Amino acid sequence: MPSSQHLLLKQFLTAATGPLARRRPSLGKLRLACELGALFQFMPWNVFLEETSIEGMEAEWLRPQGAPAHRVLLYLHGGGYVLGSPNTHRSLIGALAQRCQMPALSINYRKAPEYPFPAALQDALMAYRWLLQEGFQPNNIIIAGDSAGGGLALALLLALRDGGEALPAAAIGLSPWTDLALPVSTLHRLAEEETQVLEALEIRNWGAMYAAGTAPENPLLSPSKAALHDLPPLLIQLSDAEVLCEDGLGFVQKARAAGVAITLQQFEGLVHWWHLFWRFLPEGRQALNQVSTFVHGIWEAQAEAARLVQAARKKVKTPAASAVRLRKWA
Protein backbone atom coordinates (compact mmCIF):
# COMPACT_ATOMS: atom_id res chain seq x y z
CA MET A 1 0.00 0.00 0.00
CA PRO A 2 1.40 3.45 -0.87
CA SER A 3 2.67 5.55 2.00
CA SER A 4 0.84 8.55 3.45
CA GLN A 5 3.51 10.73 1.83
CA HIS A 6 2.62 9.30 -1.57
CA LEU A 7 -1.09 9.82 -0.99
CA LEU A 8 -0.34 13.46 -0.20
CA LEU A 9 1.73 13.78 -3.37
CA LYS A 10 -1.04 12.24 -5.46
CA GLN A 11 -3.60 14.62 -3.97
CA PHE A 12 -1.38 17.53 -4.91
CA LEU A 13 -0.95 16.27 -8.47
CA THR A 14 -4.68 15.65 -8.83
CA ALA A 15 -5.45 19.17 -7.64
CA ALA A 16 -2.98 20.60 -10.16
CA THR A 17 -4.41 18.61 -13.07
CA GLY A 18 -7.46 20.82 -13.67
CA PRO A 19 -5.64 24.16 -13.89
CA LEU A 20 -2.89 22.68 -16.04
CA ALA A 21 -5.38 21.08 -18.42
CA ARG A 22 -7.30 24.34 -18.82
CA ARG A 23 -4.28 26.56 -19.39
CA ARG A 24 -2.18 24.09 -21.40
CA PRO A 25 1.15 25.79 -20.69
CA SER A 26 3.56 26.00 -23.60
CA LEU A 27 6.59 23.76 -23.80
CA GLY A 28 8.81 26.75 -23.03
CA LYS A 29 6.90 27.44 -19.82
CA LEU A 30 7.02 23.78 -18.81
CA ARG A 31 10.77 23.75 -19.34
CA LEU A 32 11.16 26.89 -17.27
CA ALA A 33 9.01 25.47 -14.47
CA CYS A 34 11.12 22.31 -14.38
CA GLU A 35 14.34 24.30 -14.17
CA LEU A 36 12.97 26.57 -11.46
CA GLY A 37 11.81 23.55 -9.50
CA ALA A 38 15.32 22.17 -9.69
CA LEU A 39 16.55 25.13 -7.63
CA PHE A 40 14.99 23.54 -4.55
CA GLN A 41 16.79 20.23 -5.03
CA PHE A 42 19.88 19.53 -3.00
CA MET A 43 22.70 17.13 -3.60
CA PRO A 44 23.22 14.35 -1.07
CA TRP A 45 25.95 15.02 1.44
CA ASN A 46 29.48 14.07 0.31
CA VAL A 47 28.56 13.88 -3.39
CA PHE A 48 30.65 16.35 -5.34
CA LEU A 49 29.70 18.07 -8.59
CA GLU A 50 32.14 18.68 -11.43
CA GLU A 51 31.08 20.28 -14.72
CA THR A 52 32.55 18.95 -17.94
CA SER A 53 31.99 19.01 -21.69
CA ILE A 54 31.86 16.17 -24.23
CA GLU A 55 32.63 17.52 -27.69
CA GLY A 56 30.63 20.64 -26.89
CA MET A 57 27.77 18.88 -25.07
CA GLU A 58 27.19 19.98 -21.49
CA ALA A 59 27.70 17.24 -18.93
CA GLU A 60 28.59 16.85 -15.29
CA TRP A 61 30.21 14.36 -12.96
CA LEU A 62 28.62 13.48 -9.62
CA ARG A 63 31.32 11.84 -7.51
CA PRO A 64 30.46 10.24 -4.15
CA GLN A 65 33.27 10.47 -1.63
CA GLY A 66 35.31 7.28 -1.58
CA ALA A 67 33.71 5.74 -4.68
CA PRO A 68 36.08 3.71 -6.90
CA ALA A 69 37.15 5.85 -9.84
CA HIS A 70 37.34 3.03 -12.40
CA ARG A 71 33.58 2.49 -12.57
CA VAL A 72 30.92 4.86 -13.89
CA LEU A 73 27.15 5.21 -14.12
CA LEU A 74 26.13 6.90 -17.37
CA TYR A 75 22.76 8.48 -16.56
CA LEU A 76 20.22 9.68 -19.15
CA HIS A 77 17.56 11.86 -17.56
CA GLY A 78 13.85 11.64 -18.34
CA GLY A 79 11.45 14.29 -19.58
CA GLY A 80 9.63 12.89 -22.59
CA TYR A 81 12.57 13.75 -24.89
CA VAL A 82 11.47 17.41 -24.69
CA LEU A 83 12.01 18.43 -21.04
CA GLY A 84 14.59 18.05 -18.33
CA SER A 85 18.31 18.49 -17.88
CA PRO A 86 21.06 17.48 -15.48
CA ASN A 87 19.66 20.25 -13.24
CA THR A 88 16.24 18.66 -12.88
CA HIS A 89 17.65 15.24 -12.03
CA ARG A 90 20.81 16.15 -10.11
CA SER A 91 19.46 15.19 -6.69
CA LEU A 92 18.17 11.83 -7.95
CA ILE A 93 21.38 11.00 -9.81
CA GLY A 94 23.48 12.03 -6.83
CA ALA A 95 21.45 9.80 -4.52
CA LEU A 96 21.77 6.90 -6.94
CA ALA A 97 25.51 7.42 -7.37
CA GLN A 98 25.99 7.51 -3.61
CA ARG A 99 24.01 4.33 -2.99
CA CYS A 100 25.77 2.50 -5.82
CA GLN A 101 29.15 3.90 -4.76
CA MET A 102 30.21 4.87 -8.26
CA PRO A 103 30.72 8.20 -10.05
CA ALA A 104 27.86 9.20 -12.33
CA LEU A 105 28.10 11.07 -15.63
CA SER A 106 24.95 13.03 -16.50
CA ILE A 107 24.61 14.52 -19.99
CA ASN A 108 22.44 17.32 -21.35
CA TYR A 109 21.44 15.56 -24.56
CA ARG A 110 19.58 17.49 -27.23
CA LYS A 111 15.78 17.73 -26.95
CA ALA A 112 12.87 17.72 -29.37
CA PRO A 113 11.23 19.47 -31.13
CA GLU A 114 14.33 21.54 -31.89
CA TYR A 115 16.45 18.40 -32.20
CA PRO A 116 14.30 15.38 -33.06
CA PHE A 117 15.33 11.73 -33.40
CA PRO A 118 18.08 10.59 -33.61
CA ALA A 119 19.75 13.57 -31.91
CA ALA A 120 19.30 12.28 -28.32
CA LEU A 121 20.54 8.83 -29.27
CA GLN A 122 23.55 10.28 -31.08
CA ASP A 123 24.45 12.26 -27.95
CA ALA A 124 24.10 9.17 -25.76
CA LEU A 125 26.35 7.21 -28.12
CA MET A 126 28.88 10.03 -28.08
CA ALA A 127 28.95 10.04 -24.28
CA TYR A 128 29.43 6.26 -24.08
CA ARG A 129 32.25 6.30 -26.64
CA TRP A 130 33.84 9.23 -24.82
CA LEU A 131 33.93 7.18 -21.62
CA LEU A 132 35.73 4.41 -23.49
CA GLN A 133 38.23 6.95 -24.84
CA GLU A 134 38.75 8.18 -21.28
CA GLY A 135 39.89 4.69 -20.32
CA PHE A 136 36.76 3.17 -18.78
CA GLN A 137 36.31 -0.51 -19.61
CA PRO A 138 32.86 -1.55 -20.89
CA ASN A 139 32.46 -4.04 -18.03
CA ASN A 140 32.87 -1.14 -15.58
CA ILE A 141 30.10 0.99 -17.14
CA ILE A 142 26.42 0.82 -16.24
CA ILE A 143 23.82 2.80 -18.18
CA ALA A 144 20.69 4.07 -16.43
CA GLY A 145 17.77 6.37 -17.11
CA ASP A 146 14.23 7.19 -16.07
CA SER A 147 11.12 7.44 -18.24
CA ALA A 148 12.26 8.68 -21.67
CA GLY A 149 15.82 8.44 -20.40
CA GLY A 150 15.17 4.79 -19.60
CA GLY A 151 13.93 4.21 -23.13
CA LEU A 152 16.97 6.05 -24.46
CA ALA A 153 19.25 3.83 -22.36
CA LEU A 154 17.66 0.72 -23.92
CA ALA A 155 17.93 2.25 -27.40
CA LEU A 156 21.60 2.91 -26.72
CA LEU A 157 22.13 -0.79 -25.94
CA LEU A 158 20.43 -1.78 -29.19
CA ALA A 159 22.52 0.67 -31.22
CA LEU A 160 25.73 -0.61 -29.64
CA ARG A 161 24.79 -4.25 -30.16
CA ASP A 162 23.73 -3.79 -33.77
CA GLY A 163 26.89 -1.76 -34.45
CA GLY A 164 29.11 -4.50 -33.09
CA GLU A 165 30.42 -2.26 -30.28
CA ALA A 166 31.28 -3.35 -26.76
CA LEU A 167 28.28 -3.45 -24.45
CA PRO A 168 28.26 -2.13 -20.86
CA ALA A 169 28.06 -4.33 -17.78
CA ALA A 170 24.33 -3.69 -17.31
CA ALA A 171 21.52 -1.20 -17.82
CA ILE A 172 18.79 0.15 -15.54
CA GLY A 173 15.39 1.49 -16.58
CA LEU A 174 13.35 3.40 -14.00
CA SER A 175 9.83 3.37 -15.47
CA PRO A 176 11.31 3.27 -18.98
CA TRP A 177 9.35 4.46 -22.01
CA THR A 178 9.60 1.41 -24.23
CA ASP A 179 6.84 2.10 -26.82
CA LEU A 180 6.63 5.63 -28.20
CA ALA A 181 3.07 5.10 -29.46
CA LEU A 182 0.95 4.46 -26.38
CA PRO A 183 -2.12 2.41 -27.40
CA VAL A 184 -5.41 4.31 -27.39
CA SER A 185 -6.92 1.48 -25.35
CA THR A 186 -4.47 2.27 -22.57
CA LEU A 187 -5.61 5.90 -22.52
CA HIS A 188 -9.29 4.91 -22.39
CA ARG A 189 -8.74 2.42 -19.62
CA LEU A 190 -6.97 5.04 -17.51
CA ALA A 191 -9.40 7.87 -18.25
CA GLU A 192 -10.70 8.05 -14.68
CA GLU A 193 -7.25 8.73 -13.25
CA GLU A 194 -6.80 12.45 -13.79
CA THR A 195 -3.08 12.53 -13.20
CA GLN A 196 -2.52 9.59 -15.55
CA VAL A 197 -4.73 11.05 -18.29
CA LEU A 198 -2.78 14.30 -18.23
CA GLU A 199 0.46 12.36 -18.27
CA ALA A 200 -0.64 10.11 -21.12
CA LEU A 201 -1.95 12.91 -23.32
CA GLU A 202 1.20 14.95 -22.88
CA ILE A 203 3.46 11.98 -23.48
CA ARG A 204 1.74 11.15 -26.76
CA ASN A 205 2.38 14.70 -28.01
CA TRP A 206 5.99 14.61 -26.86
CA GLY A 207 6.61 11.29 -28.55
CA ALA A 208 5.44 12.71 -31.87
CA MET A 209 7.76 15.68 -31.42
CA TYR A 210 10.70 13.37 -30.88
CA ALA A 211 9.85 10.99 -33.72
CA ALA A 212 9.32 13.89 -36.15
CA GLY A 213 8.18 11.74 -39.04
CA THR A 214 10.06 8.57 -38.15
CA ALA A 215 7.72 5.63 -37.60
CA PRO A 216 7.24 5.10 -33.84
CA GLU A 217 7.73 1.36 -34.44
CA ASN A 218 11.41 2.02 -35.14
CA PRO A 219 13.24 -0.08 -32.49
CA LEU A 220 15.51 2.85 -31.62
CA LEU A 221 12.39 4.86 -30.76
CA SER A 222 10.43 1.99 -29.23
CA PRO A 223 12.81 -0.65 -27.80
CA SER A 224 9.88 -3.00 -27.18
CA LYS A 225 9.65 -3.43 -30.96
CA ALA A 226 13.26 -4.61 -31.25
CA ALA A 227 14.82 -8.04 -31.23
CA LEU A 228 16.15 -8.23 -27.68
CA HIS A 229 18.82 -10.91 -27.94
CA ASP A 230 22.41 -10.56 -26.70
CA LEU A 231 21.82 -7.72 -24.26
CA PRO A 232 23.59 -7.33 -20.89
CA PRO A 233 21.75 -7.82 -17.58
CA LEU A 234 18.85 -5.40 -17.17
CA LEU A 235 16.91 -4.00 -14.22
CA ILE A 236 13.44 -2.59 -14.85
CA GLN A 237 11.39 -0.83 -12.15
CA LEU A 238 7.69 -0.14 -12.78
CA SER A 239 4.61 0.95 -10.87
CA ASP A 240 1.32 -0.72 -11.72
CA ALA A 241 -0.40 2.70 -11.56
CA GLU A 242 1.57 4.45 -14.32
CA VAL A 243 0.71 4.55 -18.00
CA LEU A 244 4.06 3.08 -19.01
CA CYS A 245 3.55 -0.09 -16.97
CA GLU A 246 1.83 -2.29 -19.55
CA ASP A 247 4.39 -1.59 -22.25
CA GLY A 248 7.18 -2.04 -19.73
CA LEU A 249 5.87 -5.44 -18.68
CA GLY A 250 5.64 -6.45 -22.33
CA PHE A 251 9.26 -5.46 -22.81
CA VAL A 252 10.30 -7.56 -19.81
CA GLN A 253 8.48 -10.64 -21.10
CA LYS A 254 9.98 -10.24 -24.56
CA ALA A 255 13.49 -9.80 -23.16
CA ARG A 256 13.15 -12.92 -21.00
CA ALA A 257 11.98 -14.91 -24.01
CA ALA A 258 15.11 -13.73 -25.86
CA GLY A 259 17.34 -15.05 -23.06
CA VAL A 260 18.21 -11.73 -21.46
CA ALA A 261 19.00 -11.76 -17.72
CA ILE A 262 16.36 -9.20 -16.75
CA THR A 263 15.17 -8.30 -13.25
CA LEU A 264 11.70 -6.79 -12.80
CA GLN A 265 10.93 -4.88 -9.63
CA GLN A 266 7.28 -3.83 -9.53
CA PHE A 267 5.71 -1.33 -7.12
CA GLU A 268 2.05 -0.79 -6.30
CA GLY A 269 -0.02 2.35 -6.74
CA LEU A 270 2.78 4.84 -7.37
CA VAL A 271 2.68 7.74 -9.81
CA HIS A 272 5.12 8.01 -12.66
CA TRP A 273 8.45 9.60 -11.70
CA TRP A 274 8.11 8.64 -8.05
CA HIS A 275 11.88 8.20 -8.02
CA LEU A 276 12.35 11.96 -8.34
CA PHE A 277 10.67 12.44 -4.97
CA TRP A 278 13.07 10.14 -3.12
CA ARG A 279 13.65 12.65 -0.30
CA PHE A 280 9.93 12.82 0.40
CA LEU A 281 8.75 9.32 -0.48
CA PRO A 282 9.92 6.18 1.35
CA GLU A 283 9.04 4.26 -1.85
CA GLY A 284 11.55 6.40 -3.73
CA ARG A 285 14.33 5.58 -1.29
CA GLN A 286 13.33 1.90 -1.38
CA ALA A 287 13.55 1.87 -5.18
CA LEU A 288 17.00 3.47 -5.18
CA ASN A 289 18.20 1.02 -2.54
CA GLN A 290 17.03 -1.85 -4.72
CA VAL A 291 18.93 -0.40 -7.67
CA SER A 292 22.02 -0.34 -5.47
CA THR A 293 21.54 -4.01 -4.57
CA PHE A 294 21.29 -4.88 -8.27
CA VAL A 295 24.45 -2.91 -9.10
CA HIS A 296 26.46 -4.52 -6.32
CA GLY A 297 25.19 -7.89 -7.57
CA ILE A 298 26.67 -7.12 -11.00
CA TRP A 299 30.09 -6.45 -9.50
CA GLU A 300 29.87 -9.56 -7.31
CA ALA A 301 28.97 -11.69 -10.33
CA GLN A 302 31.96 -10.28 -12.23
CA ALA A 303 34.28 -11.02 -9.31
CA GLU A 304 32.95 -14.59 -9.03
CA ALA A 305 33.36 -15.16 -12.76
CA ALA A 306 36.95 -13.89 -12.58
CA ARG A 307 37.63 -16.20 -9.62
CA LEU A 308 36.28 -19.22 -11.51
CA VAL A 309 38.38 -18.38 -14.57
CA GLN A 310 41.49 -18.07 -12.42
CA ALA A 311 40.75 -21.37 -10.69
CA ALA A 312 40.26 -23.09 -14.04
CA ARG A 313 43.59 -21.76 -15.27
CA LYS A 314 45.34 -23.10 -12.18
CA LYS A 315 43.87 -26.55 -12.77
CA VAL A 316 45.14 -26.53 -16.34
CA LYS A 317 48.65 -25.53 -15.24
CA THR A 318 48.89 -28.00 -12.34
CA PRO A 319 49.36 -31.28 -14.34
CA ALA A 320 52.09 -29.75 -16.48
CA ALA A 321 53.92 -28.46 -13.43
CA SER A 322 53.67 -31.87 -11.74
CA ALA A 323 55.13 -33.58 -14.81
CA VAL A 324 58.12 -31.25 -14.74
CA ARG A 325 58.75 -32.07 -11.08
CA LEU A 326 58.52 -35.84 -11.76
CA ARG A 327 61.04 -35.62 -14.61
CA LYS A 328 63.34 -33.63 -12.36
CA TRP A 329 63.45 -36.37 -9.70
CA ALA A 330 63.48 -39.35 -12.09
- Give the DSSP per-residue string, 177-229: ---SS--HHHHHHTTT-HHHHHHHHHHHHHHHHHHTTS-TTSTTT-GGGS---
Among the options 60, 199, 242, 283, which is catalytic?
242
Catalytic: which of 85, 106, 147, 239?
A: 147
The strand pair at 72-76 and 170-174 is best described as unpaired
Longest distance between any two alpha carbons in the chain, whole Å: 95
Question: Rounded to an integer, what is the distance from CA 329 to the centroid of its chain?
Answer: 62
Is 147 one of the annotated active-site residues of the chain? yes
CA distance 40 to 110: 24
**Residue 291 host element (H or E):** helix 282-329
* H-helix or E-strand spanning residue 322: helix 282-329
Rounded alpha-carbon distances, angstroms, from residue 245 to 60, 148, 175: 30, 13, 7
Catalytic residue chosen out of the listed positions 272, 275, 283, 292:
272
Dihedral sign of CA atoms 202, 85, 123, 105 in order: negative
Is residue 242 annotated as part of the catalytic site, yes or no?
yes
Evaluated on CA atoms 310, 313, 315, 317, the torsion sign reads: negative
- Catalytic positions: 147, 242, 272
